[in-house]
Amino acid sequence: MKALTIAIAITAAMTSALTARGNTAEPDTLVVVNNANRVTINRTPTANTIIITGSKDDEDFYYSYTAERVDSAAVAARSEEEWGLSLPFLHDEKRSKSKIVWGGNTQIGICMPLDGPVGLDQSVDLAIGKLVGVSYRPWSKGPEFSVGVGLFAQKFALHGNSMFALDGKSLVIVPLPADARDSHVRLFNFGFQLPVSFKQQIYRDFSVSAGVAMKLNSYTTASNKYTIDHRSYETPLRGLQQRILTYDVFACIGLEDIALYCRYSPVSLFKSGNGPQFDVLSFGINLGF
């Protein structure tokens, strides 16, 4: 009975290999082992292996036979690895767990006011998109959705012999004193943001991302610094009537460690009558994409 079982197993392995190659010839019996101690059949993506150890007549007996076969799934996986392709939605839909992200999307760049008052120029744009966040990828090769809590800071420069002043509670732009020199006039905005985004891997570590960030403008100030007759003057302006809530739309493209970002703020920092009206376009380098 054991000999019959072994012969059938070897014949089955050969039949699998020959069928995969489209060969319909009758298989031949390779070996018959009477009273084998152990028969092991191993299956891999590309082959079946039969191992026979020990028989009644010879405890040291050993026989091994490997029959190659074609596995379409393994061939497809190997082809993808060779070409380095990673196309979305064309792979298995094995779910992955969500993960927590710390300190991601640190952005350093330039913010440019658009359609603003004359003399209001670009300056520094800084942000940490996700002090902490949660991301979730429903498909193994599909988009990754994420939400987080972060910080941002923007500073705008005012040039052209102008400075900021308060007219009641409204921030206005007025001329500098006639003898003022070495002026340094800035508008600073700081707050928290809640970015909601999706990210799609395109090729290996190369990805694109886009989303919306709700912004809580919690601290907005202006300051004037200038010199008259070698005497320095500094005027901080606080208690400004900025909008508490605004939003940005943004996009990033690049590698996992470094990318390029662009953000656009379509809502002015101040309501009409409370301060200068302008949109903001920001762009720069994104670290920890």
Share of the chain above pLDDT 70, in %: 80
Fold observed for domain 99-287: Porin (2.40.160)
In the structure, what pLDDT confidence band is assigned to residue 132 with cuts at 50, 70 and 90? very high
Its pTM stands at 0.64
Give per-residue pLDDT as tens, 244-283.
999 999 999 999 889 999 999 999 999 999 999 999 999 9
Q: How far apart are CA 64 and CA 226, in angstroms?
A: 90
Strand 181-203 relative to strand 170-175, pairing: unpaired
Q: Are the CB atoms for 161 and 183 separated by under 8 Å?
A: yes
Buried b or exposed e, range 248-271, using 16+ CB within 10 angstroms: bebbbbbeeeebebbbebeebbbe
Residue 175: pLDDT band (50, 70, 90) is very high
Residue-level pLDDT at 248: 97
Q: In terms of Cα–Cα distance, which of 273, 252, 280 is closest to 167?
A: 273
Average pLDDT, the chain: 84
The sign of the torsion formed by the CA atoms of 86, 88, 94, 98 equals positive
Amino acid at 227: T
CA-nearest of 280, 288, 193, 174 to 235 is 174
> Is pLDDT of 10 > 60?
no
In this prediction, residues 203-207 reach a mean pLDDT of 89
Which of 12-16, 140-144, 203-207, 282-286 shows the lowest per-residue confidence on average (mean pLDDT)?
A: 12-16
Provide the pLDDT for residue 190. Answer: 97
Average of per-residue pLDDT across 176-197: 95
Look at residue 75 in the predicted model and tell me its pLDDT.
58
Range list for CATH 2.40.160 in the chain: 99-287
**pLDDT > 80? residue 178:** yes
pLDDT at position 263 is: 97
The mean pLDDT of 169-188, rounded to a whole number, is 95
**Better-scored residue on pLDDT, 87 or 178:** 178
